[in-house]
Chains A and B, each alone.
Chain A
Amino acid sequence: DAGVTQSPTHLIKTRGQQVTLRCSPKSGHDTVSWYQQALGQGPQFIFQYYEEEERQRGNFPDRFSGHQFPNYSSELNVNALLLGDSALYLCASRPRDRVFEKLFFGSGTQLSVL
């Protein structure tokens, strides 16, 4: 059973460019959350998707957008990249109806903005 998978693992972009990161949830999971983790910091919640809609959003600008597909996979898009967007981007999935459960994270995408 594959866990949460993310692609690509590493990405280098320049300021002003756009990037798309991808996440496939664990089998049986239908809710995907995205997090940004700057070096030496804990993850920060970006947003959560289920039923193909954004349900919760953290304190991130509109440059950060997402999408969820019918197969529950998700994309994170970041437009007009800034140097400060350099971070590890983590995806986590869960079954929507279970509040108290183990967390499942992907290994992350390391984004470097030059």
Chain B
Amino acid sequence: KNEVEQSPQNLTAQEGEFITINCSYSVGISALHWLQQHPGGGIVSLFMLSSGKKKHGRLIATINIQEKHSSLHITASHPRDSAVYICAVRLIQGAQKLVFGQGTRLTINP
């Protein structure tokens, strides 16, 4: 079993829909990152969380440390939000190492 699991693996929605991507982990972490990867490979850092909730524009990220679970929400989704969204955790042990989920491929249709 992977240390970091994301769901769903693929998600297709219509423009304007509310999107939720989930990340569960089984290890002790010091922080969790949500990343966005567009075709071509470039990765953009969206959020870093160690507790609670963060919001940036239409993006909201939450984390529940006790349940070892995080969610990324996109409100009023737009075709330009189409990308792969990746959850990555920074381990408490071996603190320099990041462990990544397999990614969620999001497609927003106009």
A: residues with CB less than 8 A from B are 31, 33, 35, 37, 40-45, 48, 55-56, 58, 88, 90, 99-108, 110
Contact = CB atoms under 8 A, between A and B. Distances in A.
B27 interface: no
B48 A58 contact: no
B13 interface: no
Interface of B: 4, 30-31, 33, 35, 40-45, 48, 50, 86, 88, 90, 94-103
A45 B91 CA distance: 12
A102 B45 contact: yes
Counting from the closest, the 3 A-B pairs by CB-CB distance are A42-B100, A108-B41, A105-B43
Nearest to A41: B102
A23 B99 CA distance: 21
A42 B41 contact: no
Nearest to A96: B96
Given A43-B100, A99-B90, A105 B48 contact: no
A87 B96 CA distance: 23
A58 B94 CA distance: 10
Given A42-B103, A99-B31, A99-B90, A105 B98 contact: no
Given A99-B30, A100-B48, A102-B48, A45 B43 contact: no
Contacts of B50: 100
Contact of A56 (B42, B43, B94, B101): B94
Contacts of B43: 90, 103, 105
Given A58-B97, A107-B40, A42 B102 contact: yes
